[in-house]
A = this chain, B = another copy of it.
Amino acid sequence: MPNWVDGHPADSLSIKDRGLAYGDGLFETIAVRGGRPPLLEYHMARLADGCRRLGIPLDLQLMRTELVAFSAGLGEGVAKLMVTRGDGLRGYAPPPVALPRRILQSAAFPLYPENNAQQGVQLFPCSTRLAEQPMLAGLKHLNRLEQVLARAEWQDGEHAEGLMRDVSGRVIEGVFSNLFMVHDGVLLTADLSRCGVAGVMRAALLDSAKAQGLQVEVRDITYDEFIQADEVFLCNSLFGVWPVRSVTGHHWPVGPLTRKLQVIARDLLDI
């Protein structure tokens, strides 16, 4: 499956692209099953929100059409979608008329160990903290050096994900996934208005949980609350839900609400 740039097969792009120069753009990592992206509406909604907040005049209808066609050609795998503000002149000022660039890359579906979903994973406690920047919080933008530094903190195969806290110590998310907790039957996930990436699986699980009458809270979470949670799990749009078994000495059982949401995630992903 070839990659596409602006709707045409291509493996390269201009060195003038502002995505390269400044990380001036957004991306989506999209599971493709049976020739279609199961969480399409969530991905498109987040992309639209990101374009609005960054002022990138993307043709969303065209982007959707291309993504659907790309997914049909891919069949099974991962479509990585990137949108940048396009080529720039020298300097930070966005060009008066930006021509956003649309990039679609294909990859095989990652082979995660079966145990991650069944028995749960160990979290590596990252020392890289997330800076608080409300203007960029929640967006899946192309400024991802914090995640690069955090992911470089461990190389062993024992830790499937890393725990990221913000500079104030709050528990926020994984390096490439969102984090949920269960406290006295309440489903809890971090408020992402200062930092963090608002994942599409997080959004879909929150919607599903509310629709099923579960009690849900989105708010700041201290490290103590995290440690004292009854259940902890991770989610993203590729692996669905992984229970979290432990982080540096703290252990959690794999609980019933985690299993329930794991089934919901599988349904959402057509697995």
Contacts and interface: CB of A to CB of B under 8 A. Distances in A.
Contacts of A176: 91-92
Contacts of A21: 27, 82, 142, 144
Specify how many copies of this chain sit in the oligomer: 2
A148 interface: yes
Nearest to A90: B107
Contacts of A90: 78, 80, 107, 110
A13 B16 contact: no
Contacts of A208: none
Most buried by B among A24, A55, A103, A133: A133
B22 A20 contact: no
A139 B135 CA distance: 21
A142 B105 CA distance: 21
Nearest to A4: B15
A248 interface: no
A206 to B, nearest CB: 24
Interface string A186-217: 00000000000000000000000000000000
A152 B95 CA distance: 10
A11 B16 CA distance: 8
A145 interface: yes
A167 interface: yes
A254 interface: no
A254 to B, nearest CB: 25
B15 A151 contact: no
Contacts of A128: 135
Contact of A135 (B3, B55, B92, B149): B149
A93 interface: yes
A151 B91 contact: yes
Contacts of A27: 21
A72 interface: no
Contact of A133 (B10, B78, B103, B131): B131
Given A14-B12, A21-B82, A146 B133 contact: yes
